[in-house]
């Protein structure tokens, strides 16, 4: 999906930066919308966010690709504005996204452009990228408490909602009934 974003225009630069933050760091939509320029610490290469949902302060690394996406957007895509927010509307007035803006149109646009079909009933919003991140980390053997911390959850129970057992892992647990009967 990220490869299908036209980063040659300001909106594409913004959308790419938003999507990469959600896909690679699992930052919630509300936190993306409230992210301020002062939350970016270029010296320590970190992003410090006070989460809207939990009210906890979380520090994320500015990974190389995320850093370059943010720099490209801030230098070459973000409209001139006094707004303290990193991500702002691309149409005047150049200010923060509205309170009720869920940014669903951003992921919908690039899901379609990428030819990705989402089965009816499955989540399709930016939250689905958090789910994908959690699933990928689980598949890579990342411990559940670490995944919980990445997603900004208080405990692993909150995280378990995102995680579906991987079919390959289920196959490893399968027992051949004929093999069992041979050894009885």
- Tell the burial category of 107 from Cβ atoms under 10 Å away from its Cβ (0-12, 13-18, 19+): buried
- Based on the residue annotation, tell me whether 7 is a catalytic residue of this protein: no
Q: In Å, what is the CA distance from 168 to each residue of 138, 139, 165, 172, 178? A: 12, 10, 9, 6, 21
pTM of this structure: 0.73
- Based on the residue annotation, tell me whether 112 is a catalytic residue of this protein: no
- Based on the residue annotation, tell me whether 127 is a catalytic residue of this protein: yes
Q: In Å, what is the CA distance from 28 to each residue of 116, 118, 151, 153? A: 22, 20, 8, 11
Find the catalytic residue in 50, 53, 157, 164: 53
148-177 residue pLDDT tens: 666 666 666 666 665 555 555 555 656 666
38-53 residue pLDDT tens: 999 999 999 999 887 7
Grouping H, G, I as helix, E, B as strand and the rest as coil, residue 154 is coil
The rounded distance, in Å, linking the Cα atoms of 30 and 47 is 15
Percentage of the chain beyond pLDDT 70 is: 65
pLDDT greater at residue 17 or residue 157 = 17
Q: pLDDT grade, residue 126 (50/70/90)?
A: low
Sketch out the chain's domains with CATH numbers: 2-172 (1.10.443.10)
Name the average pLDDT for the chain.
Answer: 79
């Amino acid at each position: 999906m990220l490869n299908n974003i036209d980063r040659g225009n300001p909106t594409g630069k913004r959308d790419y930066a938003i999507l990469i933050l959600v896909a690679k760091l699992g930052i919630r939509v509300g936190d993306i919308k409230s992210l301020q320029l002062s939350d970016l610490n270029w010296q320590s290469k970190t992003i410090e966010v006070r989460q809207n949902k939990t009210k906890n302060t979380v520090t994320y690394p500015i990974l190389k690709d995320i850093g370059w996406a943010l720099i490209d957007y801030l230098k070459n895509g973000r409209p001139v504005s006094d707004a303290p927010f990193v991500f702002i509307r691309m149409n005047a007035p150049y200010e923060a996204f509205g309170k009720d803006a869920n940014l669903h149109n951003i992921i919908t646009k690039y899901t379609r452009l990428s030819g990705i079909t989402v089965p009816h009933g499955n989540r399709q919003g930016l939250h689905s990228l958090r789910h994908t991140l959690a699933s990928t980390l689980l598949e890579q053997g990342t411990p559940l408490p670490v995944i919980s911390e990445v997603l900004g959850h208080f405990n692993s129970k909150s995280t378990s909602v995102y995680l579906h057992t991987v079919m390959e892992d289920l196959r490893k647990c399968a027992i051949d009934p004929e093999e069992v009967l041979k050894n009885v």
